[in-house]
Structure 1
């Protein structure tokens, strides 16, 4: 169980870091802290990307967290492949954030998202196969 909690926890930490980054990016507008000499927000171009990426952390990742809760709640040994897929997902989410926030490379972003998507889909497929009675 604890080996599956680590990637879940790290995704939560990643979301918290994104919130902190968004707070810093909005600070010049909201609190006037860090404004450019001309009074503008030096983070005006990156702030919407951070905000969009943070929203993305609560869409498909929801299925990741539900899968992990189910695996833990089943109180059975968790297959190593499930842990591998969980790590693939979390590392992929970090990469997805970096690509979305710091580049305009939509193709690369799509590839990274697809890796995340497939990892969670595979987790759910394995849960279904293991628990479905034919």
Structure 2
């Protein structure tokens, strides 16, 4: 077994969570497409056909897409912290907090999609991410 930085655990956890959301997206999307007897058209403008699906089905796909956006910054900064040997202590706590908030954000968006609540969770996760970036910048520069 190779030694590794503890901060890699929340990285893998968020990647695994992204795949849970991918599965949830398809488990809800495919039956909705079948119920609507939607004929998929490769010539339709991007996303146009999926916009006809019920909102509560689209929310899962929207969240999956969101997990491909800001978390890429988390992956980069967490890997940076792991490489420089700073993937433990407060940085590890911040990383797990970020992951927890992103999972909470997923549930809020995928289940109730209350925008004010979703934004509050997103904002908090962004502050945590800024903390990780600050800590890495302090050590690098």
Q: TM-score per shorter chain, which class?
A: 0.7 to 0.9
Aligned residues, how many? 124
Look up the SS of the partner of 1:86 in the other structure: helix
For structure 1, the 5+ residue unaligned runs are none
1:86-101 maps to which residues of 2 (within 5 A)? 86-101=95-110
Q: Displaced runs of 4+ in structure 1, greater than 6 A?
A: none
Name the TM-score, length of structure 1 as normaliser: 0.83
| Residue equivalent to 2:79 | 69
Partners of 1:16 and 1:117 in 2: how far apart? 21
Match of 1:117 among 119, 126, 134: 126
Contact 1:25/1:47 (<8 A) preserved:
yes
Partners of 1:78 and 1:89 in 2: how far apart? 14
Partners of 1:77 and 1:125 in 2: how far apart? 12
CA-based RMSD: 2.0
For structure 2, the 5+ residue unaligned runs are 39-52
Partners of 1:100 and 1:70 in 2: how far apart? 29
Name the TM-score, length of structure 2 as normaliser: 0.79
